Amino acid sequence: MALLTPALGLFVWTLIAFLCVFFILRKFAWKPILNSLSERETGIAESIAAADRVKKEMGQMQAENEKLMVQAREERSQMLKEAKEMKDRIVNEAKDQAKAEANKILAEANAQIHQQKMAALTDVKNEIGKLSVEVAEKILRKQLAAGEAQDQYVNMLAEEIKLN
């Protein structure tokens, strides 16, 4: 048991050494340790505050990014809508232009057909007229070959003229 209880002298010298070390540490080491702990605590608090600010900024940036994405989607859909409308308009204009060209070609073709028809009818009438004159001439020559037939024909024409 003597090993477990220290002697009074050892206890006093240990106490004196402890108090000397305590006062030396208190005077020279305690303030710098407390200052460094205080600085570390302040640094940690500032880091936490900075992290909170960054987190808030990230939230705002994320919200702005979402707004930009929504706006970009709207612009994209608007551009697609405008492109579709432009395509439809161009297609409709091309169809209208093709219809107008077709109608113009048909009108020109109808005019040419009508013109050729009229030319053919004129040619046929001229031919019929020529044939009629030739037939009438041949008939009259045959009938009026004799002098007596000529006199009768002249008298008949004279009577018709008097009646009219």
Q: pLDDT digits over 33-44, tens only?
A: 888 999 999 999
Q: For residues 82 and 73, what is the distance between their CA atoms, to the nearest angstrom?
A: 14
pLDDT digits (tens, 9 = 90+) for 120-159: 999 998 888 888 888 877 777 776 667 777 777 778 877 8
Longest dimension (CA), the chain: 198
Domain assignment of residue 40, yes or no: no
109 in a structural domain = yes
In a domain, 19, yes or no: no
pLDDT tens digit sequence for 21-35? 999 988 888 888 888
- Reported residue count of the chain is 164
To the question of pTM greater than 0.75 for the whole model, the response is no
For residue 124, the enclosing domain spans 51-163
For residue 32, tell me if it sits in a domain.
Answer: no
142 within domain boundaries: yes
User: Which of 97, 77, 99 is closest to 89 using CA atoms?
Assistant: 97
Question: What is the per-residue pLDDT across 84-99, written as a single tens digit (0 to 9) for each?
Answer: 999 999 999 999 999 9
Q: Is residue 150 domain-resident?
A: yes
In a domain, 145, yes or no: yes
Total number of domains constituting the chain = 1
Exposure on the CB side of residue 102, measured as CA atoms within 13 A:
6
